[in-house]
Structure 1
Amino acid sequence: MSRFLSFRLWFALSTFALLAACAQPVKHADYTAFRNSRPHSILVLPPENETTDVQATNSMLSQMTMPLAESGYYVVPVAVMDETFRQNGLTVPADIQATSPAKLREIFGADAALYSKITQYGTVYHVVDSATVVTASARLVDLKTGDVLWQGSASANSNEGNNNAGGGLIGMLVMAAIKQVANSLTDRGHDIAGVTSYRLLHAGPPNGLLYGPRSPQYGTD
């Protein structure tokens, strides 16, 4: 994805979020358990993949640590997590997520674990259009108590902000053909997964994670 296209995508997403916020009342999450726990470190578990794309789990997992780290948390390195489970014969996300919170804390020493699920990943083709969509949900669990501290969901797609009004039917068919070729030659899902990961795991109001202890905004929320 070029820098120009990236700018257009992020501008469109920001505009969409602003309009959505103005259109309806915002419901705020209950942070009582989160504030009481105040985790310093997070273990990100491999997301469960409910889609048909075998790349979904690795694509999302590779981009989920950055927004958490930027929000002020220490994140257990993905390579360490993956190798530890592999050495113990666990390679399937569902089996890994079934490990008890107490056992995860004993092995990794983290304060909390992030459990996530991917429900949509990849390109959806229509007669005159196509869009790459990634949708995921997550919950943060206290490894000392097993309590759910936070949960949320997010989605992103490559057509946000696009205007297909011009060009008529022929123009729409041509653009659809070009997009289908581009989507088949590049992993658009990985790029959109990055947007979904940020939307899902960034800190801040109204429903994002609380800022972690390594953030200058820690305690202000």
Structure 2
Amino acid sequence: MRLKSFKTYLVLASIVLTTGCATQQTPYDYSAFERNNPASILVLPPVNTSPDVKASYSVLSHVTAPLAEAGYYVLPVAVVDETFKQNGLMNADEMHMAPPAKLREIFGADAALYIEVSRYGSSYKVITSEVAVEASGKLVDLRSGDVLWEGSALASTAENQNNSGGGLVGMLISAAVNQVLNSLTDRSHEVAGIASSRLLSTQRYGGILSGPRSPLYKQAQLAHR
């Protein structure tokens, strides 16, 4: 019996070790990012695959700040949008299809940020009401065409909701009140700011690297070598 128990223990221990190794995060590959070393970024209006038509320009209005704080020069998004339209590209899908070399020729930026918004807005599910914004981003070097970085982020009002008190009636009332507030105050735009900051943060695992205008630039370069 003891021998059998010992063998069982060894099997369980090997499973735990195997599972632990499988869940370890592999280091993000920043080799293309470091090789191209962009200093200026062109942000294209996001492609919106959510049902809310406000999603694209809501997220667009938030992305300049985190990129600037990360140490990059960001081309003014309003000027970029107008320039695209003057060149006959009237929506985000068409803008995203423009060749990188052409974007480089027109705007002179080192890299372009392509964003897709997959979730935006509020949803009401009987006992819960949630505003969520989810976006993914890809940074492409306009000189070489290399993909420098990819990532995604989600922000939701459900992160701060606590429906444990008040029972079922309390949860229903809370959901209804939140739904009204979400509709009246356009909380989606506020949540979009949080999602954008998370997506473009240099502090999270797999986030973008600090740019040359950041005081952390040299440290970041050394840390990823």
Which TM-score tier does this pair reach, normalised by the shorter chain?
0.7 to 0.9
Considering only CA atoms, is the larger Rg found in Structure 1 or Structure 2? 2
1:190 corresponds in structure 2 to 189
1:70-125, Cα deviation, whole Å (9 max, x unpaired): 00000000111011011112121010010000000001000000011011111111
1:54 corresponds in structure 2 to 53
Partners in 1 of 2:28 and 2:146 — Cα distance?
15
The structural deviation recorded for 1:159 is: 1.1
Give the total of aligned pairs.
198
1:82-97 equivalence runs, <5 A: 82-97=81-96
What amino acid sits opposite 1:185 in the alignment?
L
What amino acid sits opposite 1:108 in the alignment?
F
The structural deviation recorded for 1:145 is: 0.7
CA contact (8 A) 1:27 1:206 kept: no
1:211 corresponds in structure 2 to 210
Q: Does 1:135 align with 2:131?
A: no
1:113-128 equivalence runs, <5 A: 113-128=112-127
Q: Between 199-208 and 67-76, report the one with greater CA deviation.
A: 199-208
Q: Does 1:76 align with 2:75?
A: yes
- Pick the structure with more helix per residue: 2
1:148 corresponds in structure 2 to 147
1:121-143, Cα deviation, whole Å (9 max, x unpaired): 11111011110010010100000
Identify if the C-alpha distance between structure 1 residues 38 and 48 changes in structure 2 by more than 3 Å, giving closer, same or farther. Answer: same
What amino acid sits opposite 1:68 in the alignment?
L
Identity, in percent, stands at 56
The structural deviation recorded for 1:204 is: 3.1
Partners in 2 of 1:180 and 1:206 — Cα distance?
33
**TM-score, structure 1 length as denominator?**
0.87
Q: Between 56-65 and 83-92, report the one with greater CA deviation.
A: 83-92
Partners in 1 of 2:160 and 2:53 — Cα distance?
28
CA contact (8 A) 1:47 1:116 kept: yes
- 2:219 is paired with a residue whose SS is coil
**Could you say what the CA RMSD is over the residues aligned between the two structures, in angstroms?**
1.1
CA contact (8 A) 1:112 1:141 kept: yes
The structural deviation recorded for 1:206 is: 2.0
**TM-score, structure 2 length as denominator?**
0.86
2:101 corresponds in structure 1 to 102
- 1:160 is paired with a residue whose SS is helix
- 1:220 is paired with a residue whose SS is helix
